[in-house]
Amino acid sequence: MNIWLVMLVGGLITFGMRFSLIYAFGKLHIPETMRKALHYVPPAVLSAIVFPELFIRSGRVDVSLDNHRLLAGLFAVIVAWASRNTLVTILAGMLALFIVQTVLK
Amino acid sequence: MNEQQKYFWEGARAEIPLLIGVFPFGMIYGALALDAGLPIAAAQMMSSMVFAGSAQFITAQLVKDSTPGFVIVLTIAVVNLRHMLYSASLAPYLASVSTRWKMLLSYLLTDEAYAPSIIQYENEGVKPFSHWFLFGAGAALWIIWQVSTALGIFLGAAIPDSWSLDFALPLTFIAMVVPVLKNRPSVAAALSAGCVALAAGSLPYKLGLIVAALVGIAIGIFLEKRMNATPDEKPSIHALRESLDE
């Protein structure tokens, strides 16, 4: 994989989407289904990335106390829900991972 | 000060509260992109070539997981689809400017530049030089994004490996996803996408990610139809104001 090619194509696509309707004002409309779908893009894409990061350890789903990242991640979910703050969530999750790794070693 | 400058600085000033939140975010991106294995030049250049916060974080994570390029590009496209909504919403206010201006302003059109600009345009309407407002907001954000990325790369290089910094990426995504879980369809979209991602983890080319995202989106739309609970279709001006006041 060439990271520069990925960034170039990803950047052009992003620009194209930002430019699309400003350029084609009045000629192009966003279909209703796509408007609806956009609500679910963040929860779906982000969860699809986060779940494997938390649950899968050495190639297998691991739901046990040995899975430190899962424990710290669940704690971060609670902190994110209560604080709604990105920085606080990251710091709490990192701290939780550090504590879990130290205590459950 | 002429009209152009006046609108430019008004836009830049309206952007300041958002910049305070963006700065640490840019630093975290820089540090994590480096930690994910991107070369320094690529980590920095992504902030100007893609110039979209969440897509850049996701790209860093996917590069770390050795995801094939076409899956990364596809994911960037899905994540940035929302920019078409911003494009549609600003289009009537930018109808009279030249194509060159439209290209420049489109390049600068991020979540953070959109928010103060749409409020400005809905309140004030279109004036001869009011596109300079979006230019000012976008340019201020662009500069801060580049500087904060550079600072993050610089500081990130000094963080020892023993800190498990790579865990900060999923934590960032958790911080992004939890606040959008506002109703049952969005929770269902998140849970189903997550479970499909676990089940489809062995699909070739990491296509499980795309399949999982599509299943989650489909389930969200399906449940929304069944519940007939339609969330706000357009980003409401009140919600934007509140987020600016925060």
Can you read off the two tokens belonging to residue B87?
Answer: 């494009």
Contact B152, B27 (CB under 8 A): yes
Q: Is B68 on the interface with A (CB under 8 A)?
A: yes
Q: Is residue B148 located within the same domain as residue B214?
A: no
Is B186 within a domain?
yes
Residues B102 and B143 both lie in one domain: yes
Assigned domain for B177 exists:
yes
Question: Are B93 and B143 part of one and the same domain?
Answer: yes
**Domains of chain B: total:** 2
Q: For residue B27, give the nearest of B110, B150, B140 by alpha carbon.
A: B150
pTM of the model: 0.83
Residues B78 and B151 in one domain: yes
Q: Which two tokens stand for residue B19?
A: 């910049």
Q: Which of B21, B142, B11 is nearest to A85 (CA)?
A: B21
Indicate if B109 and B193 belong to the same structural domain.
no
Q: Which residue out of A40, A78, A89 would a mutagenesis test of the B interface target, given it has the greatest number of B Cβ atoms within 10 Å?
A: A40
Tens digits of per-residue pLDDT, A33-62?
888 888 899 999 999 999 999 999 988 999
Q: Are residues B151 and B191 both part of a single domain? A: no
With respect to residue B117, please indicate whether it lies within any of the assigned structural domains.
yes
Q: Which two tokens stand for residue B61?
A: 């994570």
* ipTM score of complex: 0.91
Please check whether residues B125 and B192 belong to one and the same domain: no
Tell me whether B170 touches chain A (CB under 8 Å).
yes
Within 8 A of A10 by CB-CB distance, chain B residues are 49-50, 55, 59, 72-73, 76-77
Check whether residue B146 and residue B188 sit in a common domain: no
Residues of B in contact with A9 (CB under 8 A): 69, 73
Does one domain contain both B76 and B180? no
Q: How far is A69 from chain B (nearest CA, A)?
A: 8
B203 is a domain residue:
yes
pLDDT 10s digits, B130-180:
999 999 999 999 999 999 999 999 998 888 877 788 899 899 999 989 998
- Does B195 reside within a domain? yes
B181 shares a domain with B151: no
Report the helix count and the strand count for chain B, using DSSP H and E: 12, 0
In a domain, B232, yes or no: no
Are residues B138 and B169 located together in one domain of the fold? Answer: no
Which range marks the domain in which residue B173 is found?
A: 165-227
Q: At what angle do helices B53-64 and A3-23 cross, to 10 degrees?
A: 150
More confident residue, B141 or B227: B141
Residues B52 and B7 in one domain: yes
Q: What is the pLDDT of residue B244?
A: 53
